[in-house]
Amino acid sequence: MKHYFQMKYKRILLKLSGEALTGDKKNGIDPEILLKYAGEIKKVYDLGIEIAIVIGGGNIYRGFNNEYKIDRVQGDYMGMLATLINGLALQNTLENIGLPTRLQSAINVNKVAEPFIKRKALRHLDKKRIVIFSAGTGNPYFTTDSAAVLRAIEIEADVILKGTRVDGIYNEDPNKNSDAFKFETITFKEAISKGLKIMDTTAFTLSHENKLPIIVFDMNKKDNLLKVLNGEKVGTIVNL
| Domain regions of the chain by residue span | 4-239
Distance from C-alpha of 151 to C-alpha of 27, rounded to nearest angstrom: 27
pTM exceeding the 0.85 threshold for the entire prediction: yes
* Residues forming a β-bridge with 69: none
Q: What tens-digit pLDDT sequence spans the chain (240 residues)?
A: 444 445 789 999 999 999 889 888 778 999 999 999 999 999 999 999 999 999 999 999 876 556 667 888 999 999 999 999 999 999 999 999 999 999 999 999 999 999 999 999 999 999 999 999 999 999 999 999 999 999 999 999 999 999 988 899 998 888 788 888 999 999 998 988 888 877 888 998 999 999 999 999 999 999 999 999 998 999 999 998
Burial category of 120 from C-beta neighbours within 10 Å (exposed 0-12, middle 13-18, buried 19 and up):
middle
Residues contacting 174, CB < 8 A, separation 6+ = 166, 180, 182
Query: Which DSSP symbol is given to 4?
Result: G
4-239 CATH choice from 3.30.1490.110, 3.40.1160.10, 3.40.718.10, 3.40.50.300 = 3.40.1160.10
Burial profile 31-41: b = 16 or more Cβ within 10 angstroms, e = fewer: eebbebbbebb
Determine phi and psi for 164, rounding to 5 degrees.
-130, -170
Give CA–CA dist 190/176, Å, rounded.
22
d(CA 76, CA 82): 10
